[in-house]
Structure 1
Amino acid sequence: MKTFKRILLLLLLLLTIAVIYNYPKLNIISGYASKNLASTNFIADRLYSDIVESDNNVPLIKLAELESTDENGVTTSVFGLMERESICREGLGCVLINDDYDKTQTLPKPKRTYAAKNLPFPYGNKEQADTVFENIDYKKLNAAVKSAFVDYEIQKTRTILVVYKGQIVAEEYIEGFSKDTPILGWSMTKSVLATLYGILMHQGKIDMSYRPFKELDLTGLTSKDPREIIPLDDFLRMSSGLAWDEDYGSISDVTKMLFLEADMTKSQINTAYSSDDPKVWNYSSGTSNFLSGVLRKQFKTHQEYLDFPYVELIDKIGMHSMLIEADMAGNYVGSSYGWATTRDWAKFGLLHLNKGNWNGEQLFSPEWIDYITTPTEGSNGTYGAHWWLNSEGKYPDVPKDLYSANGFQGQRVYIIPSKDLVIVRTGLAEAPYFDDNTFLKEVTGAIE
């Protein structure tokens, strides 16, 4: 009996230690579940039951339970502990809130223009006329697309769209998704954010010599701050020298930012920096949200900042389904929270394939493409300026001029200039479960 009691006491002690050690993680787990449930229901109009069974059915996150819902948001917990609430706001999407957040406040919402144009995709709302390209082997192309949906429990592809010479040549969706379903792009939003800087530069309102820490009045900085030397170029290339831990499996810089911070633009400001160390490439969502804060400083009012992405980019190219969510302080979460339909993500790709020209209007300079596709030192040829590259053959069987907007769980907008192709793939799994190289090889191989 004494031995049994000792074993029981030891087990209770180990359980107590485990609970104490993991308790802070419950905040992140519950927060992720709450935010994802609220946004996916509110923006994509999908059922909570479907979101729980699919999107949130991943290790740890599936431990969270939906506690309550109303027309403005949801509350979740983990085993009844660590309740987290997310609320949804018109024009700004949903936000995970803390106890200090004033739910009665009214924030400005972005100006949107939904002008229906009597033109076919991509410039309007009409369906395209059937076009058959003699250099496309449609049997091979359709087989390549179909293969991306095989073994859904492994590959978890949800949507595929292939656009050749501006024409949709293949399009496929799983049940429950369609051309009208908004998809969370996760870090594809970073490429949208970068494009806003390309537009500002084309308008002559900012340039690469801009040094945010020197020219911005940020709390806590002095005239001797060593970070004053960091140019905008280093931030766009993720090589600022500022420390950042992009680990989604632990309590890290990125998870604390996304699920605990009220103002996400300040997270990168508070990380370590040493001017004695060589600047190295370090992928950082904190850098992207810092840049969102820098972007806000370029405008006199909060309203102008909120309007800019939609007036100068999103609605201008007809991405009317797109919504970029904002944090508690009203800053766009440029690292992660951009939503759009598969067709609208393709429009974003086409804008870049056409070097910033949209139906005759130049939104950003053609040289901007050269800039974002120039490999960043230290990235092994895989990263440019908020865009991913294939310059060193990351995808060995795909043209090396491919560049892409990449997001968590395999959200992709691939642009292949040499093939005049834009390919969008969305889902819930990425490499090694989804083989980008094989998929892209088969699609490009169908076009002579």
Structure 2
Amino acid sequence: MKNYFPLILLAVLLLNCSSDSDSSEDIPTESMYFPPISGNVWETKSMSELGWNESEVQPLLTFLEEKHTKGFIILVNGRIVMENYFNGHTATSPWYWASAGKTLTTATIGIAQQEGLLNINDKVSDYLGTGWTSAPLAKENLITNKHLLSMTSGLDDGMGNGNSPAELQYLADAGTRWAYHNVFEKLQDVIADATNQSFDAYFTSKLKSKIGMTGTWLAVDEFNVYWSTTRSTARFGLLSLNKGKWNSEIIVPEAYMMEAISPSQSLNNAYGYLWWLNGKANYRLPQTQLQFPGSLIPNAAADMVCGLGKNDQKIYVIPSKKMVVIRLGEVADGENFALSDFDNQLWAKINAVID
């Protein structure tokens, strides 16, 4: 009888070696990097290390410049891979976030809720008192903080963008209609009431200073708009990528952060708590009650979430790629409230570089 033991032993050894080489545990995973809270130090990562197609970088940069971009950053695992400025803008120049800054209010609400100062399921009138709208009292009392976070207040978005009681009129019961509306800013008043300090003071102490952001809130056409450098915008994108944690410190509770970047209601699956969500079966857009089939930005990753601001201010967070992309600048093409054709065009150019 032949001795098969050496052959069996060899097969087992080969199988073990194969298993070891395929084990995900043996593949080094680069840790998430967070820049220091102060100073200009920020680690970088080269495109060659990432295996990116560097021949496609110049077409991307040309496109960005032609589309009136001011600042552009790509982070991977927190490290800067691309950082470019155009059209007279510099690393120290501030620019407005427009509605991409809604996400700052979302985060601050989550912090205040974690501290037990408010609850998103409470009525807005619990904090602002009755009469903050011109809706009948019974209808006003239906509106919760969560309805403001999810754009389902039921208030008439056709009355303009002001937030005086006369401009906040009843159209539908809260939770029954999705409509993009600047009434979300009332959440900043809720925070001020709940914390016994100004929204800006609470935001600065609990969020801005914790992650080393610079910038300021400025009143523009009666609205509170955030202005900062492109790097400060990227810091917030990095915090969001890391589920609300900066290094080992929890800034925004992870459970709340994950809730914020999930569908917040069934009327517009592509909307969380003031965050836009890619990869859903359909979506709605500002200024219309139409529902559109397909993904918000088809060329981008399905798990991408976005802070989208008027005239193409963009915060893109892509968990599957450990990536943050920031674009600030003038409007790329025609004026828009959030999404535009520019998003899909930009991601076609980015994909040519990173894929």
TM-score range, shorter chain: 0.7 to 0.9
**What is the match of residue 18 of structure 1?**
none
**What is the match of residue 353 of structure 2?**
446
**What is the match of residue 184 of structure 2?**
288
Are 1:206 and 2:118 counterparts? Answer: yes
| Mean Cα deviation higher: 409-418 or 437-446 | 437-446
Find the aligned partners of 2:44 and 2:151 in 1 and give their Cα distance.
Answer: 43
**Structure 1 residue 380, shift from structure 2 partner:** 4.1
| Aligned with residue 166 of structure 1, among 62, 67, 78 | 78
**Structure 1 residue 138, shift from structure 2 partner:** 5.0
Structure 2 residues not aligned, in runs of 5+: 1-32, 281-294, 335-339
**Structure 1 residue 359, shift from structure 2 partner:** 2.0
Contact 1:144 1:443 in 2 (8 A): no
Find the aligned partners of 1:196 and 1:372 in 2 and give their Cα distance.
Answer: 12
Find the aligned partners of 1:268 and 1:407 in 2 and give their Cα distance.
Answer: 26
Find the aligned partners of 1:131 and 1:301 in 2 and give their Cα distance.
Answer: 41
Spell out the pairing of 1:11-410 with structure 2 (5 A cutoff).
121=35, 123-132=37-46, 134-137=49-52, 139-140=54-55, 142-143=57-58, 145-150=60-65, 152=66, 155-214=67-126, 216-219=128-131, 225-245=138-158, 252-254=159-161, 257=162, 264=163, 266-267=164-165, 270-275=168-173, 279-285=176-182, 287-302=183-198, 305-320=199-214, 322-326=215-219, 333-334=223-224, 337-377=225-265, 380-392=268-280, 393-410=295-312
Is the alpha carbon distance of 1:361 and 1:269 closer, same or farther for their aligned partners in structure 2, counting shifts above 3 Å?
A: farther
Find the aligned partners of 1:366 and 1:125 in 2 and give their Cα distance.
Answer: 27
**Structure 1 residue 413, shift from structure 2 partner:** 0.7
Contact 1:355 1:366 in 2 (8 A): yes
Identity of aligned residues (%): 24
**Structure 1 residue 195, shift from structure 2 partner:** 1.1
Find the aligned partners of 1:135 and 1:121 in 2 and give their Cα distance.
Answer: 20
Is the alpha carbon distance of 1:225 and 1:327 closer, same or farther for their aligned partners in structure 2, counting shifts above 3 Å?
A: farther
Is the alpha carbon distance of 1:149 and 1:130 closer, same or farther for their aligned partners in structure 2, counting shifts above 3 Å?
A: closer
Find the aligned partners of 2:258 and 2:166 in 1 and give their Cα distance.
Answer: 27
Are 1:435 and 2:342 counterparts? Answer: yes
Is the alpha carbon distance of 1:274 and 1:163 closer, same or farther for their aligned partners in structure 2, counting shifts above 3 Å?
A: closer
**What is the match of residue 43 of structure 1?**
none
Contact 1:202 1:363 in 2 (8 A): no
Paired AA for residue 279 in structure 1 = T
Find the aligned partners of 2:166 and 2:257 in 1 and give their Cα distance.
Answer: 26
Find the aligned partners of 1:410 and 1:379 in 2 and give their Cα distance.
Answer: 24
**Structure 1 residue 386, shift from structure 2 partner:** 0.5
Is the alpha carbon distance of 1:121 and 1:360 closer, same or farther for their aligned partners in structure 2, counting shifts above 3 Å?
A: same
**Structure 1 residue 172, shift from structure 2 partner:** 1.1
Is the alpha carbon distance of 1:231 and 1:441 closer, same or farther for their aligned partners in structure 2, counting shifts above 3 Å?
A: same
Contact 1:390 1:402 in 2 (8 A): yes
Find the aligned partners of 1:355 and 1:135 in 2 and give their Cα distance.
Answer: 23
Contact 2:44 2:79 in 1 (8 A): no
| Mean Cα deviation higher: 358-367 or 203-212 | 203-212
Find the aligned partners of 2:98 and 2:219 in 1 and give their Cα distance.
Answer: 13
| Mean Cα deviation higher: 388-397 or 351-360 | 388-397
Find the aligned partners of 1:434 and 1:141 in 2 and give their Cα distance.
Answer: 20
Residue 151 of structure 2 aligns to a residue in which SS?
Answer: coil
Is the alpha carbon distance of 1:165 and 1:130 closer, same or farther for their aligned partners in structure 2, counting shifts above 3 Å?
A: closer
Find the aligned partners of 1:288 and 1:403 in 2 and give their Cα distance.
Answer: 19
Is the alpha carbon distance of 1:272 and 1:314 closer, same or farther for their aligned partners in structure 2, counting shifts above 3 Å?
A: same
Find the aligned partners of 1:157 and 1:354 in 2 and give their Cα distance.
Answer: 26
Contact 1:281 1:376 in 2 (8 A): no
Q: Which has the higher contact order (CA 8 A, sep 6+)?
A: 2
Paired AA for residue 323 in structure 1 = T
Is the alpha carbon distance of 1:394 and 1:129 closer, same or farther for their aligned partners in structure 2, counting shifts above 3 Å?
A: closer
Structure 1 residues not aligned, in runs of 5+: 1-118, 246-251, 258-263
**Structure 1 residue 425, shift from structure 2 partner:** 0.6
Find the aligned partners of 1:425 and 1:146 in 2 and give their Cα distance.
Answer: 12
**What is the match of residue 44 of structure 1?**
none
**What is the match of residue 418 of structure 1?**
320
Find the aligned partners of 1:220 and 1:358 in 2 and give their Cα distance.
Answer: 36
- 1:190-247 alpha-carbon deviations (Å, 9 max, x no partner): 11111110111222222232111245423478995332122221110001111112xx
Residue 279 of structure 2 aligns to a residue in which SS?
Answer: coil
Is the alpha carbon distance of 1:130 and 1:278 closer, same or farther for their aligned partners in structure 2, counting shifts above 3 Å?
A: closer
Is the alpha carbon distance of 1:243 and 1:160 closer, same or farther for their aligned partners in structure 2, counting shifts above 3 Å?
A: same
**What is the match of residue 17 of structure 1?**
none
Contact 2:139 2:170 in 1 (8 A): no
Is the alpha carbon distance of 1:212 and 1:197 closer, same or farther for their aligned partners in structure 2, counting shifts above 3 Å?
A: same
**Count of residue correspondences:** 302
Is the alpha carbon distance of 1:140 and 1:211 closer, same or farther for their aligned partners in structure 2, counting shifts above 3 Å?
A: farther
Find the aligned partners of 1:419 and 1:281 in 2 and give their Cα distance.
Answer: 30
Paired AA for residue 280 in structure 1 = R
